[in-house]
Structure 1
Amino acid sequence: MRRANPRQVGFICHSCASLPAQTSRQPFPSRILSSAPRQIAQSSVWRSTPARWATSVSASRADAEADAEANEKAVPASTPRPLTDASQLANVAEDSCNKFLSVDGIPAKQLTAAALQSCLRAASALHPQLKRAEAQFKASASKLVSLGAERTGARVPIDAKLVDATSRISHAAYAIISNPNVEMTPEFLELYVAIQSQLGQPESLPAVFELYAKKPKPVVKNGQIAYLKQNPNAASRAIEPAVADMALQAAIDAKNLDSALGIIEASYSLPAFKRQKLIKHGTAPAIGLATLPFGIFGLSTAYASYWQNTMDISTATGIGVAGISGYFLVIGSLGMIAKLSHKDQMKRVTWTPGTPLRYRWLREEERAALDKVACAWGFKEPWRHGEEMGPEWEGLKEYMGYRQMLLDRVEFMEVSVAPSLPPQQQQQVGDAERSGVPAPVQEKKDDGDDEVKLEIRDPQEEEDKDQAIFEHQLDSTT
């Protein structure tokens, strides 16, 4: 074959690839000049194509966004509105309860949770209506009537329809949780407490707490349902502190003193709660205390072997054990006493003198709960603490006395002055009472001025003055 002449090989690109073969015989400069117009035309064609593509893409995006907005506007219109009628909410809760009770055998935990969740949703939807009704009553009634209702714990008169719906939802939840085939778990108990807290019905909470501790566990044996007894004093049957606090707050909000004390007895006062606290908070210190002798012996041996050369190893080891043990014993005892005997968290309820420290630590949650009840039922003003009267208050003080507690212990009460005196005089009177000096006496000037003068009388000076007067009279008579 004939080889190509190097001089005939010209510049070949995309624009001139379609030229006829005769153009390749032209000189190199002429070929470049002749192909320039075609390159410009072709580049203009390729540049216009992306513009048209971008325009079409932007148009399609705009259409897609418009369709999405139309769909978003159409979705809320199709979603059902939440129920707000009290009767309908109660019907939903009762229907869920009836469907749950119609199940044969032991129901699954998911089914029980779903039934309680249905009651909780109904109670949560009804809760704002109850609060609104109470607010309307307080706004319409006189201040004295509303204050008396708060003090006595009387029910606020609200719409009978709301009262009926509240009672129906509460009974539906109790029917679910008290079913013999339902196993009581902490999750179910928390749901039930949340339902009654939303409804403001704490009357059944003490009974449900006792049911949680004593209710038999349903199991299937040989195709039949059997019930296993539970140990009410086991640590696993203890009420969680968060659940007990929620129940107690519900009773306080409802101003139901009997329910509040019943909740405390069924949760904080049980041996199961104390055992659970002992296991949770006492296991780690017990393990550390058990391993402490081995650590002390190891440190003493290391001291005798490597850190001294004046005594034999056995003597140095004994001295090291005695010294380190004494240090840990003294410091640990002081720290434990300080930890178990501090009173900064106490407000109105304190321990009676002579109560062992271990009882104080184990029953601290019980004391704190009773302290919370006392603060809720008593006067809010600190300077009025101790002035409460009435059968409920006297019964509360007696109840605390039976449980080795004191309400409003005099030596721990805050020194306060009634707000009838000016602030400066209140400060002076308070300082005098703290220092043990007799309280200042108000005396007015003889000129009728309204200015008040504080004079502190010293008993010793008065006694000396009386003695001088007596001696003067005795000398005059002689």
Structure 2
Amino acid sequence: MRRANPRQVGFICHSCASLPAQASRQPFPSRILSSAPRQIAQSSVWRSTPARWATSVSASRADAEADAEANEKAVPASTPRPLTDASQLANVAEDSCNKFLSVDGIPAKQLTAAALQSCLRAASALHPQLKRAEAQFKASASKLVSLGAERTGARVPIDAKLVDATSRISHAAYAIISNPNVEMTPEFLELYVAIQSQLGQPESLPAVFELYANKPKPVVKNGQIAYLKQNPNAAARAIEPAVADMALQAAIDAKNLDSALGIIEASYSLPAFKRQKLIKHGTAPAIGLATLPFGIFGLSTAYASYWQNTMDISTATGIGVAGISGYFLVIGSLGMIAKLSHKDQMKRVTWTPGTPLRYRWLREEERAALDKVACAWGFKEPWRHGEEMGPEWEGLKEYMGYRQMLLDRVEFMEEQQQQQQHQQHEAPSTEVTLALPMAVSVAPSTPPQQEIVDAEMSGVPAPEAEDGVAAPVEGQEEEEEEEEEEEIKSEVRDLQEDVDDDQAVFEHQLDSTM
């Protein structure tokens, strides 16, 4: 700490601080006489300051210790210790469910949300324990057993208390959401899906999705509860893509193929989902397409009136309408075809040839969900795609066939394409290797022409072929060619004579008829 100035510490107020300045104006003798008492006073004040400083420091330390003790006493009261026991968490969820079900009449939305949030908190607190138990099983069990459990979707053997608590929390949430007096809203459905996702229990999600679409709405009429029937195909009854994706991921994590396909059928495949997509993504393009003719006519009129002077207004307007309409028609058609037929996002599931483009656009989320399921249940290695076997895989392929989809289309598989290209590169080389021995075997059978000429000049008979037949001589070959030409010419002359005879007969008959 910086050393304090004695002069500053000794001053008590500003009036005292001004005294030395006044004393400096006094005569020299008087200043000498008055300096001694002032020094004594300053030294006495300086000696008293350490005690005052020490007392203030000790007081501040005492206050800090008192505040710390008060905070330590207040922390346990303000933040209660979270529950970690599985049975206690299940009891909390069941108590909330029982209190909610004891309410008469139509419960308020806040009360329903509070009951579901209580179950969600219990499920979130139980989720780390479930993951820890699964990790311990995988660490203790053999690699083959863990892989078999992952492939078949078998339940990992965990503590019975955790299994019982998971089942109790799941049943409590289902009892709340399936109460006839509870109106199904997107918020409640999202909470329920989050609860089952944390617990790893996706078996009830397809039924709850169907309940969301078909559950009657409770209303109060004349003091009694009445239930209004809902239209399951209405766009308002469609399940949000984020909620459906969360439910599908929960089924994939649990390795439950039936639940995954049921979730897809109860969410992406329904007419309500397609109508909602059509309204969300098709309204703006439809409005633009409806207003396009007016814009084209306005541009054409402006072109005819202000941007040209070689034609009359009506002719220029017609030409402008035709040109602009043709441009938008061609470019718009190409853009729409490119948008609806792109396949970059497809991995293993593709559309069957001949599927209309409008169906592909409306059902793209369904195809993507099935593609996600196929990637989760099949081999992860791309070079092993297409080697999957088993009843579940065959059933999945057949199910996709009913939905106008193909699983592992050969021409779109990377490994198959590479094999075909490799075979195409190898095919010409095999043809060359097969042709070379034939050429080698045929070449020695005919003697060179130079040997024949040398034999004729020397008077030695020409060499014979391997089969004992004499090799042809050059003069003989020319004679044979001349004979063949003469035969051909004679045949042509005979044909010409026949044609002339027929023509003469025809003319004679024609003259006789005339």
TM range (shorter): 0.7 to 0.9
Q: 1:151 to 1:37 in 2, by over 3 A?
A: same
Inter-partner Cα distance in structure 2 for 1:82 and 1:143: 36
| Other structure's SS at 1:9 match | helix
Greater mean alpha carbon deviation, residues 372-381 or residues 448-457: 448-457
Q: 1:25 to 1:211 in 2, by over 3 A?
A: closer
Under a length normalisation based on structure 2, what TM-score does the superposition of the two structures give? Answer: 0.71
Inter-partner Cα distance in structure 2 for 1:107 and 1:435: 125
Q: 1:138 to 1:8 in 2, by over 3 A?
A: closer
Contact 2:209 2:263 in 1 (8 A): yes
Contact 1:383 1:416 in 2 (8 A): no
Q: 1:309 to 1:77 in 2, by over 3 A?
A: same
Inter-partner Cα distance in structure 2 for 1:436 and 1:69: 136
Q: 1:363 to 1:21 in 2, by over 3 A?
A: closer
Greater mean alpha carbon deviation, residues 82-91 or residues 229-238: 82-91
Q: 1:14 to 1:323 in 2, by over 3 A?
A: closer
Greater mean alpha carbon deviation, residues 72-81 or residues 326-335: 72-81
Deviations 1:353-383 (A, max 9, x none): 0101110000000000000000000001100
1:21 to partner: Cα distance: 23
Greater helix fraction, Structure 1 or Structure 2:
2
Inter-partner Cα distance in structure 2 for 1:77 and 1:431: 125
Q: 1:38 to 1:388 in 2, by over 3 A?
A: same
Inter-partner Cα distance in structure 1 for 2:322 and 2:86: 74
1:388 to partner: Cα distance: 0.5
Q: 1:431 to 1:363 in 2, by over 3 A?
A: farther
1:81 to partner: Cα distance: 1.6
CA RMSD of aligned residues (A): 17.2
Inter-partner Cα distance in structure 2 for 1:55 and 1:419: 125
Deviations 1:365-411 (A, max 9, x none): 00000000000000011000000011110000000000000000000
Contact 2:149 2:155 in 1 (8 A): yes
Inter-partner Cα distance in structure 1 for 2:364 and 2:5: 108
Gap regions ≥5 residues in structure 2: 414-439, 463-471
Contact 1:15 1:38 in 2 (8 A): no
Inter-partner Cα distance in structure 2 for 1:326 and 1:434: 83
| Other structure's SS at 1:220 match | strand
Deviations 1:401-436 (A, max 9, x none): 0000000000000x999999999xx99999999999
Contact 2:10 2:45 in 1 (8 A): no
Contact 1:438 1:458 in 2 (8 A): no
Contact 1:197 1:247 in 2 (8 A): yes
| Other structure's SS at 2:444 match | coil
Q: 1:417 to 1:328 in 2, by over 3 A?
A: farther
Deviations 1:288-317 (A, max 9, x none): 111111111111111111111111111111
Inter-partner Cα distance in structure 2 for 1:302 and 1:57: 88
Q: Are residue 403 (structure 1) and residue 439 (structure 2) matched?
A: no
Inter-partner Cα distance in structure 2 for 1:434 and 1:277: 96
Gap regions ≥5 residues in structure 1: none
1:88 to partner: Cα distance: 1.1
Inter-partner Cα distance in structure 1 for 2:28 and 2:190: 93
Q: 1:7 to 1:248 in 2, by over 3 A?
A: closer
| Other structure's SS at 2:227 match | strand
Contact 1:97 1:176 in 2 (8 A): yes
Report percent identity of matched pairs.
95
Q: 1:381 to 1:120 in 2, by over 3 A?
A: same
Contact 1:443 1:454 in 2 (8 A): no
Inter-partner Cα distance in structure 2 for 1:427 and 1:118: 107
Q: 1:243 to 1:17 in 2, by over 3 A?
A: closer
Inter-partner Cα distance in structure 2 for 1:195 and 1:247: 10
1:104 to partner: Cα distance: 0.3
Greater mean alpha carbon deviation, residues 143-152 or residues 257-266: 143-152
Greater mean alpha carbon deviation, residues 53-62 or residues 316-325: 53-62
Deviations 1:150-177 (A, max 9, x none): 1111111111111111111111100000
Q: Are residue 438 (structure 1) and residue 474 (structure 2) matched?
A: no
Contact 1:238 1:272 in 2 (8 A): yes
1:134 to partner: Cα distance: 1.1
Contact 1:100 1:176 in 2 (8 A): yes
| Other structure's SS at 1:63 match | helix
Contact 2:151 2:377 in 1 (8 A): yes
Deviations 1:419-462 (A, max 9, x none): 99999xx9999999999999999999999999999999999999
Greater mean alpha carbon deviation, residues 19-28 or residues 205-214: 19-28
Alignment of 1:225-304 (within 5 A): 225-304=225-304
Contact 1:340 1:361 in 2 (8 A): yes
Contact 2:260 2:373 in 1 (8 A): yes
1:139 to partner: Cα distance: 1.3
Q: 1:212 to 1:28 in 2, by over 3 A?
A: same
Q: 1:219 to 1:378 in 2, by over 3 A?
A: same
Q: 1:304 to 1:138 in 2, by over 3 A?
A: same
Q: 1:296 to 1:443 in 2, by over 3 A?
A: farther
Contact 1:8 1:25 in 2 (8 A): no
Deviations 1:203-255 (A, max 9, x none): 00000000000000000011000000100001110000000000000000110
Q: 1:130 to 1:468 in 2, by over 3 A?
A: farther
Q: How many residues align?
A: 475
| Other structure's SS at 2:226 match | strand
Greater mean alpha carbon deviation, residues 243-252 or residues 124-133: 124-133
Contact 1:417 1:429 in 2 (8 A): no
Inter-partner Cα distance in structure 2 for 1:372 and 1:2: 71
Contact 1:383 1:417 in 2 (8 A): no
1:131 to partner: Cα distance: 1.0
1:29 to partner: Cα distance: 14
Q: 1:16 to 1:277 in 2, by over 3 A?
A: closer
Contact 1:214 1:230 in 2 (8 A): yes
> Which residue pairs with 1:59 in the alignment?
59
Which one of 491, 498, 506 corresponds to residue 455 of structure 1?
491
Deviations 1:77-127 (A, max 9, x none): 774321111111111111111110000000001110111111111111111
Inter-partner Cα distance in structure 2 for 1:359 and 1:256: 28
| Other structure's SS at 2:442 match | coil
Inter-partner Cα distance in structure 1 for 2:276 and 2:175: 29
1:335 to partner: Cα distance: 0.7
| Other structure's SS at 1:207 match | helix
Q: 1:300 to 1:13 in 2, by over 3 A?
A: same
Inter-partner Cα distance in structure 1 for 2:334 and 2:460: 34
Contact 2:97 2:173 in 1 (8 A): yes
Q: 1:349 to 1:333 in 2, by over 3 A?
A: same
Greater mean alpha carbon deviation, residues 303-312 or residues 79-88: 79-88
> Which residue pairs with 1:429 in the alignment?
452
